[in-house]
Structure formats: C-alpha cells, structure tokens
Chain A
Amino acid sequence: MRRPARLVRLALLPLLLGLAACADPVGEGEAPLEAGDPIAVKNGGGTTYMLHVGGICSYSFTNSSKGDGDARLGQWSGVESVNLEIDQTESMSTAVSQMIGHLDTYCTGEDECLLYTYSNGGAVISQALALTESGRWNILWVFGTASNEGGSEISDNFLAAPVTGLGFACRLADEIGPSDHRAGWNHNDTGGTLFYLLAGRDEWWYTGGVPDFFGGSANDGAVAYHSSGGLNDTYHISDDEPWLCYEPAYHFAGHQAAFTCEGRDLDHNAMKMAGIAELGG
C-alpha cells in the first residue's frame, strides 16, 4: 500500500513545487470567512469560542503570505468560531503579543476558549501561556495540528536559505528552529491546559529527500514528529512506530496525542484542515 501511494505523491511533486505548496485543502464550495467573522451561537452565561490560529507566514488562519487558500473555520454546535488575526510574518514577539490580546478578549470571565492551532500557531500559544500569569484565561484545551512548538529543522542552520523557495518566505521563518523554540521558553508550563496533538508523516521529497532536513526522522515535510508530537527533545523517530503514546516523561507536561498514537499519513498542508475534520467541524 505504501509504495503506490508514494509513487502517486511523487508524480504530483512537480505540481506541488509549481504551486509552492500554496493551497490549504478544504471541502469544495465552502467560502473562506473573513478574519473575525463569528459563525455560531452563545451558550448560557458565557460564550465558548474556538479560536483558530494560522501558521508560519500567515496573518490569520485563512490568510497567509502564500495566498488566501481555501482554509475555512470549523463549525460546531454551541461554539463560536473565530479567525484570529495574528501576524506570523515578522517575529514571535509580535505574534505572541497579538495572541495575548486575543486571549484577553475572548477567554476571560464567563467566556471560555478552545484553540485550534496550525503549525507555528502551536508555538505561539505555547509561548503565550509560558510567559504570562497562570489562570489568566479560561482555555479548556489546545488542539495543535502539525504543531511547530518544538521548532522546525527547515528553519535551522545552513539550509535556511532554500526555505524561502518552499513557501516560507517571511522574516519569522528565521526564528522558528528547534533551538529557538525549545530553549526559548518552558513548554511544560501550559497553565494546566492540555495540548492535544495531531501529527503528519507524509514527507515532501524536497525537505525529506534531497536534502534531508530531518535526518531520516518522521515528518510532514515541514515539522518532525518530535515537534508535532510534543516530545521534550529532538528524538529521532521512525514513522511506523506508534511513538506518540510512549510514557509522559518523553513529552512536555500536558502534551498528548489526539485520537491516534500513529498520527496521520498527510503532509503539512493537508494537516491544516485534518484536525477540524476529526473534531467533527
């Protein structure tokens, strides 16, 4: 099953390269929402929000420097979905500062939040929680798909220059390597909020093959398992090991797999909407 699937992927690679991996796949006929559009209802005394956070080089969940794409917000009964405007093109400090402002807006008092983060959005919420007072917000959980919380090797070291050719053409792409993200703050400090993580393992040949940014470790083309799985070190992981459910001691505190111990056989782009589908949105 694996080899035919891989050959199909390989046949599509020129298209992937030509498009610079610009599209975020979603269902057909679904118009993307504008940033800040509310789409659901209130509950009781407070509102439950699902805050959507985009990835590297994005301005919101549905709008990135790669184009608007087809990303859409998830929709759930009794939950108001919000497309957070967070500038992830310049610096982590800008992004985290904006994230904190949004959390103050949506996640205090009677209101409460769930977070759906994609890629580097997982790092932004992690740093925001670690650098602020515990208990400041009512965040029930964070769902991170293809999370870059542990940093991406394609931002790292001497291979950084070609990264701009892979659709990561913004200044922040320089700041999101494993050393920056792992040594930069204490990831075990989530303020008691659990992180649910869905990881992808369908590599891109131009990051997992020639050259191999990930040293043979499982990855989705942009982030390795050690990051998307919330592991507490840059472990080398085979992608056919059910690695996501080893003992908690291998993970940041409060970080655990969502739905599966094996992740999904999807690439970084496809992972963006995969979690919403799995959450029934």
Chain B
Amino acid sequence: MRRLLPALAAGALALLWLALRPGPVDRPAPGEAPPSAAPGAPALPPEARREGPARAASAGRPGRAEVGRAVAAEESAPQATPALSPVEAYRRYAVHPPDSRPLDARQSDLIDWNRRHEAPRPDPDDPGVTILFTADRFHVVGDQTLSPVLDVRRGEAPAAVRVAESVVELPDGRRIPFTLAPQGEVHAGVVRPAELDLDGPARLAVRVAFDAGAGPRHARIFAHYTPAAAVPARFGAPLGDRVVDGSLEVAVELHVETPGLYLIDANLFADGRPVAWTRTKPRLEAGTHRLPLRFFGKAITDAGLDGPYTVEQLRGALAAPGSTPPTVQVPPFAGAITTGAHPAGDFSSAEWDAPEKRDRIARLRRLEARGGPVVTTPAWRDDR
C-alpha cells in the first residue's frame, strides 16, 4: 500500500507515460512476434522461466515444431473454429479413462511434479533490477532439504546484494534463521526441516530481507514439509507386472501407518520416451497392501512403443482436505520399476468404456435436450 500511494499521487504523469510507453501493456499487432519472457536468471534452473508454445517452437525445441507449423498456418489462413458440444467434447476426452491417459513430454507438471514456479520480477522501484527468490522443490519429506536461492540482477549481470535476514517461519510462530550466502552469482542456502523439531505436517514460510541498492526488500516462498514421524505410508518392493483386461498392471507394496484416502501417481516410459500416466486413489487401512497401478491399454498402443517399460516418478500422499497442508506426503519411490518385455501389441487399443462414462454422457444429453446452459469448446488445433 505504501508503494501504491505514491503511484496514485503521480497518477497523471504515470498515465501519460504509460500511454506512450512500449511494454507489457502494449499489445503487439497480429503477426508480430510475442514479447520476450521476463528478464532471466541464467545461473538458475531453466525451469524458473517458461515460454509459450509458439516461442518454444520457434526456438526449435524437440517435440514442439508441429505447434509452430500450426501457428504459422493459422496466421496465414484463419479458419473457422468448429465448436464442440459438451457431449462431443466429453466423448473425445473419454477415449481414455480419467485416471490413466497418454503421457507427453510437455506435461512437465506430471514429470517434474515437485518443481516450483517463481519467476524473476522487476524491482518495484528500479525496473532495471530483477529479483528471483525460489528453491529446488515444493514438497519436502523427512530428511530431505530445501535449497532456497536469491538471484538479483541488473540486466544480465548479478547485482550486489546484502542479505539482512533469512529465516524459516513455522506455523507456531517460531522464526529459525538459516544462512543465505554468496554462491557464484546468487545467494544460496540449505534449510533442513528435520532439525526444526516438527511433529506434524507444516507449511513453511521461507523469508529473506535484503538490499540490492534500491532499499530494503522482502521476499518469501512457501514449502510443504512432512516430518519423518508423520509419514503416513512407505513404498515397499515391486510385486511384478501383468496384462489385465488389455491394460498394464504394475504392483508395488505400500506399508500404511495412517489409514485414509491415498493419492498415488506414476508415469510409464519406454526407453526414456513417455507413454502413459496413472493415478489411483485407494482408501487403505493400516498394514501392508498390494497396490496395483493400471496403465490403460490404449494409452500404450497409442504410443506404439514396446516394453520393457519403466515406472518412474512413483509418488503418493495421504489426502487431508481441510488441513494445511492438504496432503501428507509419502516418501517418493526411489528409482524406477522395470516391467517385462511386453510388446505394445499385447495391450488393447479399445476406447475406455465404463458405467460412469455412459452415465455422464446420458446426463449431458438430457441437459442439452432440456435447453440448459450451453457451453461449447473450440476443437484442438490437431483435431481440425
């Protein structure tokens, strides 16, 4: 608010300046190249900044060239956009079940599932300076550490930064200092939540106060921590794989301490190439369970890749809606599970069919027939 009031006081000047200023509030004309991504922080993980599909395509990244061609075609010859009714849109979606679908390398939220999403931001008073405060993960379990990074730059060059305070703030109000020290072009540190004497899941606030020459600044990020004592379950040994009803079932042990609804996710790859993802949500009592992970047959035949397959990014959590954090993390499965050498032809290429699918289609049809609210969606580009 303190920064807003001077902006208000300088309103007329600022408005005149904004009206003439090229920048974020000026939109490029159609066909013009989209604006660049925010000023970056080269020393930091590339995940800190994302580009749109068209820019990524123009950069020649693998797997995105077809998007670039689609954009070029659209720009040169605008097409009418066919609209799909809810029934038709759902039928196209429900070729695969909601809990196991094809996996694409662009689904970074499923593959790099624990990454953070902070991005460099200009300093409020000095737009030539960008500030990024981030870390290496969001969920932290047991003995895992959290590595915060502060990267302040003037243009592309690292700016001189004086860190005044770096602390982890706990839900009970305790403020635990940690060291955020120069490391190459950034300030970096390590937080060890296991040393914070927490007996339950906690939302940690990691805060830093610093000065890069434009006055005191404060930044903060949050992370969710599950201490070892609160871990609700642990993965055990793989229990084999088989073809069941045309789909691939891979089983693994789960040792459950805390009963409840579990959220289990995993991805399937063939020779490093993505094939399918799965999610299962069993309600489990305490004890050791055989946990089947089903990868839908058509998702595998769509990829057309033969086994052996590897199950990777196997992770899980106990659902705790109504709590903060809303999940209690299970330590991720270490490594990958390799399946037998199933040819893709062993699996069914049939579309998903289930009572819930037929029920939903029937309900959507009734709604349409009654003249209820009508929503349509344009077809995806690759469906036109």
Contacts and interface: CB of A to CB of B under 8 A. Distances in A.
Contact of A184 (B133, B138, B218, B281): B138
A157 B219 contact: yes
Interface in A202-237: 203, 205-206, 208-217, 226, 232-237
B37 A179 contact: no
Interface string B107-133: 111100111111111111001000101
A27 interface: no
7 contacts: A6-B25, A77-B372, A79-B373, A158-B218, A183-B116, A213-B121, A247-B67
B324 to A, nearest CB: 5
A2 to B, nearest CB: 6
B275 to A, nearest CB: 13
Interface in B332-384: 356-357, 360, 363-364, 366-367, 370-382
A241 B58 CA distance: 14
A67 to B, nearest CB: 18
Interface string A234-259: 11111111111111111011101111
A267 B49 CA distance: 25
B324 A281 contact: no
Interface in A140-197: 140-141, 143, 151, 153, 156-162, 164-166, 175, 177-180, 182-192, 194, 196
A162 B3 CA distance: 7
B221 interface: yes
A188 B109 contact: yes
B290 interface: no
A105 interface: no
A50 interface: yes
B270 to A, nearest CB: 17
A247 B37 contact: no
B157 interface: no
Interface in B239-285: 261, 263, 265, 277, 279, 281, 283
B104 to A, nearest CB: 4
Interface string A4-19: 0011001101100100
Interface stretch (A29-37, A58-66, A129-137): A129-137
A236 B38 contact: yes
Interface of A: 2, 6-7, 10-11, 13-14, 17, 43-44, 48, 50, 74, 76-79, 91-94, 96-97, 100, 112, 114, 127-128, 130-135, 138, 140-141, 143, 151, 153, 156-162, 164-166, 175, 177-180, 182-192, 194, 196, 203, 205-206, 208-217, 226, 232-250, 252-254, 256-261, 279-281
A158 B261 CA distance: 36
B89 interface: yes
Given A93-B323, A239-B27, A280 B94 contact: no
Interface string B81-110: 101001001100110011101001011111
A130 B263 contact: yes
Nearest to A188: B110
Interface stretch (B8-16, B180-188, B304-312): B8-16
Given A182-B109, A192-B356, A258-B375, A7 B19 contact: yes
A140 B360 contact: yes
Given A17-B4, A179-B117, 5 more contacts: A140-B360, A156-B121, A211-B127, A216-B24, A253-B93
Contacts of A208: 24-25
A238 B52 CA distance: 8
B207 to A, nearest CB: 10
Contacts of B277: 188
A141 B86 contact: yes
Interface residues of B, number: 114
B236 interface: no
Given A162-B124, A238-B34, A241-B54, A78 B24 contact: no
B173 to A, nearest CB: 15
Centre residue among A94, A164, A226, A233 by max chain B CB count within 10 A: A233
Given A183-B115, A206-B4, A237-B52, A246 B67 contact: yes
Contacts of B109: 182, 186-188, 232-233, 252
Given A178-B117, A183-B116, A240 B27 contact: yes
B286 interface: no
B106 A249 contact: yes
B287 interface: no
B110 A245 contact: no
A182 to B, nearest CB: 5
B139 A188 contact: no
B319 interface: yes
Interface string B60-95: 000000110011001000000101001001100110
A267 B117 CA distance: 24
Contacts of A138: 363
B53, B218, B261, B319: residue with the most chain A Cβ atoms closer than 10 Å: B53
B217 interface: yes
Nearest to A252: B109
A257 B14 contact: no
B381 A236 contact: no
Contact of A14 (B11, B34, B379): B11
